[in-house]
Structure 1
């Protein structure tokens, strides 16, 4: 399902808009503005990916231009069609539909190869036989210049011959690479004769075994941008030191009206794992329930958790665009979600830790139907009917045998109001042989029915409940941060078992819901009174089992700030 992006967010001015405005003013481009998002198809998109997409997508829309989705698929060892399909689907779901403008870096292999030959012919590239370890040693450090490769001065003819033989598969992986000939003395290590082609003998998901040499991203990226007519290649701040290489490639290949690379600060969420390497370790190590685990910041995980496209769009619009790397409090994202859900989601009563209550003076076989209003300002959600009977269940935490000060719920000899129903008084506490409370015997006052105009005595506490007669059983999953202490992420001595917050997933069995949610739709959302917003977990719900994920609690710490 596609969710059209909220166009009001297109025109929130940021420093990148000013860059584009200046370029248009100076007449630097004689074509429409065009941006791109170039994911490597070796994993699933996460909230940081959505931030980068949003920047590129909205700039293209703001200036009436084009937005390209281009897969950076020039490493067959990690890439798969599964990730390609997932990226397209997730972008469309959140509102960044690429439409027909989907491109693949692997489609440009011939052109990129031809450009590499041009660099060789200009004396700007050479085939090098140094091993990876030797190249690292020759490269130098931030304080020491690099050393020329002993193969740096091969003739143009020899380099062309070796490069063609590399393409023909005559050499094993790692035996040779093609390097740009720039400056081994450069203060920018990225310009110290970087590798631009390497040998990989592996099946590619699109081109099969046609190629056994593949270009490096820093070399292929500017060429792909130029071929697609990209005007502004917008990427995260870690690529700033790579920009001189981006410009060098375009200049040496003499490409007209070259695209410009400009950088923005990365967005991190406090306490959230967004490193693709870490995410792969968690998924392939079976520490989480796949790429869509609700504890992960992947778009699949957020969707299964119950986040809406509109809430993600709102969040991305609110945080703006920074020049420097920033960390955003996750409570802001949760605030945007609550704001989106509060007038859309119907409320129901759900008892997550049931305690049996027998109303001794209520007729044995009677079932009474009560009208209940939704806890929402949206009148369109209307009212619903719930049943009331002799045996009900309340939250165990709503009863205290020896109540502390200011405890206004149920306790021996005290009264509370049942939400939308009657006053009840606890008369007797029933325990098992181990001394555990297993039931309460209570009486009700038939004169205190909600909505009857009763204006007698009052009670301080109101609690929710569920009737035994038609209660729906469900499993409920409560989520917290996957890693409670961010410092643990950087400790390589610890395993993921030691890093993961043991309270990141709490599974509650035997929860009881009013029958409003008996046959919920896929991804249906509800407000469970007092507990928060919940969504049907479509991955684990079936004809025999109903599973809910808590999307977010009701408490909103961000709005209070």
Structure 2
């Protein structure tokens, strides 16, 4: 990837170009919209659609959204925003055995968190595919009536055997030429619940010799005796996704149906189905058109639903909102920003070419947005006591630090200064290495926002470990006073007052996997070797420490983000933080620590 830092020109987006051309040509200008989804009978007398385009984000509510979904969300909602259109949030709940309300709620929450909305004072475009089941049955009956669908009674094994291969045509089902009347009767009885699951299936009647296997009489309705989380037991036949998806788009007046590349081979059936239904007078033209783009592929993560489920169920992570998981709920808990995701999607663009995006690109987008928004605070993550031997015991005073160096309007905050402070353990060396400018006996350094101190020695325990650093301060060297300019020192240390510090749990999160392609083959692997992605889990992906924080952080509210100076960007955990007792998660370090083989 090229370095696009501080570059604000959007990357290539071929779908944006298509939309612009369609609008210039007036391709969708004749669409009508009754203010709600519906077939031709609902839309025919309605006014022209005020939305110039309509897109949709159609998740199946059977899991938590991941980073790949964020690309689709940003693309669909973003195009609607840019071109004066509407984007619908539609739950594709056609599978009664998998959907749960828990997932519906989490998806709604994730889309809102990313900053997108489907409702305003004019329209509310939240829909469910299950709302259209009656119309889908009606459309299936129309296909039967016009000779474009039939009830097949083969077993699943027989259908599979007769389907053919990529090089061999399929064979017609022995039930393919049933009469319209017989097919109508069987389909009605399927709906009435007379048959067991799998006894019959309704198929489109297209071409068993088609070179596109998806056109070899695809299944469109199957029997499922299962309770649906919204429609209950009203239905015992359910549409297949490839049948439901184009119909949902058409009922909702979608102009640009945007999918990932694996649906490209399904587009001929998408078009075939909508044309048949329009010919029957059930849908109005112009019809929706499907476009495909490459999905998001990132290094150091797995986005496979199967692998994510395995990580959760086998407790390699601590639930779907674990900050190490590439789920949106996990990213939010980690402290990633919605703005960062939107910036990433703008930077990588939209193409039809598969490419692998380095995880550092995502992290850099997070750093950029957090650098703009996060106020600064002081945290000592590996505390070592510093004692200022010439500062009066029991006394304290205020030092002042800017809340945000790029935003002076945010003002400054007071930080208490006292005789005993916490500093980072790495900021003291009894025997310094060459080029070390922090504290060592005889050296001077500035306590950031405070005073210059001179190290006079240290205290040790019986094992020889340093337990405290001893210093003297220069009273006329306080930052912000005229005397501060009299001292030129190279070391600049951060600190917190020991008497006032907030002792907190801090979780240092890092990448969940230690290699770019978890479970992938590596150079030199024997041909027979199959790697397990679980073996590539980073054992240091979560380190929990006790830290000493400046007292202002004790009042941090859940999801408040800060830059801990010198360390990175952190967030008050949205689950475990309590009023007056926040727990902090590291979102991202200040600099990329994974580049050039650093890890």
> Which residue of 218, 233, 247 maps to 1:194?
218
> Which residue of 110, 118, 135 maps to 1:98?
118
Deviation, structure 1 residue 247 = 0.9
**Aligned twin of 2:67:** 47
Residue 256 (structure 1) aligned with residue 256 (structure 2): no
In 2, distance between residues paired with 1:345 and 1:496?
A: 35
Counterparts in 2 of 1:507 and 1:559: CA distance versus 1, 3 Å = closer
In 1, distance between residues paired with 2:452 and 2:86?
A: 63
For residue 110 of structure 1, give the secondary structure of its aligned residue in structure 2. helix
Deviation, structure 1 residue 60 = 2.5
Counterparts in 2 of 1:366 and 1:60: CA distance versus 1, 3 Å = closer
In 1, distance between residues paired with 2:562 and 2:13?
A: 37
Deviation, structure 1 residue 289 = 2.9
For residue 107 of structure 1, give the secondary structure of its aligned residue in structure 2. helix
Counterparts in 2 of 1:189 and 1:295: CA distance versus 1, 3 Å = same
Deviation, structure 1 residue 98 = 0.8
**Aligned twin of 2:542:** 505
Would the aligned equivalents of 1:266 and 1:324 in 2 still touch at CA under 8 Å?
A: no
**Aligned twin of 1:245:** 269
Would the aligned equivalents of 1:343 and 1:376 in 2 still touch at CA under 8 Å?
A: no
> Which residue of 510, 532, 554 maps to 1:480?
510
Aligned length: 551
Residue 211 (structure 1) aligned with residue 231 (structure 2): no
In 2, distance between residues paired with 1:101 and 1:403?
A: 65
**Aligned twin of 2:312:** 283
> Which residue of 86, 104, 116 maps to 1:66?
86
Deviation, structure 1 residue 26 = 4.5
Residue 129 (structure 1) aligned with residue 150 (structure 2): no
Residue 85 (structure 1) aligned with residue 108 (structure 2): no
Residue 514 (structure 1) aligned with residue 544 (structure 2): no
Residue 356 (structure 1) aligned with residue 385 (structure 2): yes
In 2, distance between residues paired with 1:471 and 1:401?
A: 25
Residue 523 (structure 1) aligned with residue 553 (structure 2): no
For residue 48 of structure 1, give the secondary structure of its aligned residue in structure 2. helix
**Aligned twin of 2:414:** 385
For residue 549 of structure 1, give the secondary structure of its aligned residue in structure 2. strand
Counterparts in 2 of 1:138 and 1:407: CA distance versus 1, 3 Å = farther
> Which residue of 145, 157, 169 maps to 1:145?
169
Would the aligned equivalents of 1:42 and 1:83 in 2 still touch at CA under 8 Å?
A: yes
**Aligned twin of 1:452:** 481
Would the aligned equivalents of 2:153 and 2:200 in 1 still touch at CA under 8 Å?
A: yes
**Aligned twin of 1:320:** 349
Deviation, structure 1 residue 495 = 6.1
Counterparts in 2 of 1:173 and 1:73: CA distance versus 1, 3 Å = same
Deviation, structure 1 residue 514 = 0.9
In 2, distance between residues paired with 1:476 and 1:20?
A: 47
Counterparts in 2 of 1:165 and 1:470: CA distance versus 1, 3 Å = same
> Which residue of 54, 57, 64 maps to 1:34?
54
In 1, distance between residues paired with 2:157 and 2:421?
A: 71
Would the aligned equivalents of 1:42 and 1:79 in 2 still touch at CA under 8 Å?
A: yes
> Which residue of 449, 470, 474 maps to 1:441?
470
Counterparts in 2 of 1:413 and 1:10: CA distance versus 1, 3 Å = closer
**Aligned twin of 1:4:** none
In 1, distance between residues paired with 2:450 and 2:23?
A: 66
In 2, distance between residues paired with 1:392 and 1:446?
A: 16
Deviation, structure 1 residue 281 = 3.0
For residue 297 of structure 2, give the secondary structure of its aligned residue in structure 1. strand
In 1, distance between residues paired with 2:591 and 2:97?
A: 45
Encode CA deviations 1:165-185: one digit per residue, 9 max, x unaligned: 222222222333222222222
Encode CA deviations 1:489-546: one digit per residue, 9 max, x unaligned: 458966665342212211112x001111121122112111100111110201125743
In 2, distance between residues paired with 1:331 and 1:59?
A: 26
For residue 55 of structure 1, give the secondary structure of its aligned residue in structure 2. helix
**Aligned twin of 2:329:** 300
Q: Let me know the Cα RMSD of the aligned residues.
A: 2.7
Residue 18 (structure 1) aligned with residue 12 (structure 2): no
For residue 430 of structure 2, give the secondary structure of its aligned residue in structure 1. coil
**Aligned twin of 1:222:** 246
**Aligned twin of 1:236:** 260
**Aligned twin of 1:57:** 77
For residue 269 of structure 1, give the secondary structure of its aligned residue in structure 2. coil
In 2, distance between residues paired with 1:67 and 1:417?
A: 55
**Aligned twin of 1:403:** 432
Would the aligned equivalents of 2:302 and 2:518 in 1 still touch at CA under 8 Å?
A: no
In 1, distance between residues paired with 2:26 and 2:75?
A: 22
Q: Which runs of 5+ in 2 are unaligned?
A: 1-7, 32-51, 522-528
In 1, distance between residues paired with 2:18 and 2:489?
A: 63
Would the aligned equivalents of 1:349 and 1:466 in 2 still touch at CA under 8 Å?
A: yes
Would the aligned equivalents of 1:237 and 1:324 in 2 still touch at CA under 8 Å?
A: no
Encode CA deviations 1:363-418: one digit per residue, 9 max, x unaligned: 22211222223451210121121112221111111122332221211223333221
Encode CA deviations 1:181-205: one digit per residue, 9 max, x unaligned: 2222221111122221222222111
TM-score, normalised on structure 2? 0.86
Encode CA deviations 1:446-505: one digit per residue, 9 max, x unaligned: 343333323445322111111111100111111211222243345896666534221221
Would the aligned equivalents of 1:293 and 1:301 in 2 still touch at CA under 8 Å?
A: yes
Would the aligned equivalents of 1:10 and 1:62 in 2 still touch at CA under 8 Å?
A: no
For residue 454 of structure 2, give the secondary structure of its aligned residue in structure 1. strand
Would the aligned equivalents of 1:233 and 1:261 in 2 still touch at CA under 8 Å?
A: yes
Counterparts in 2 of 1:138 and 1:499: CA distance versus 1, 3 Å = farther
**Aligned twin of 1:266:** 295
For residue 343 of structure 2, give the secondary structure of its aligned residue in structure 1. helix
In 2, distance between residues paired with 1:552 and 1:233?
A: 35
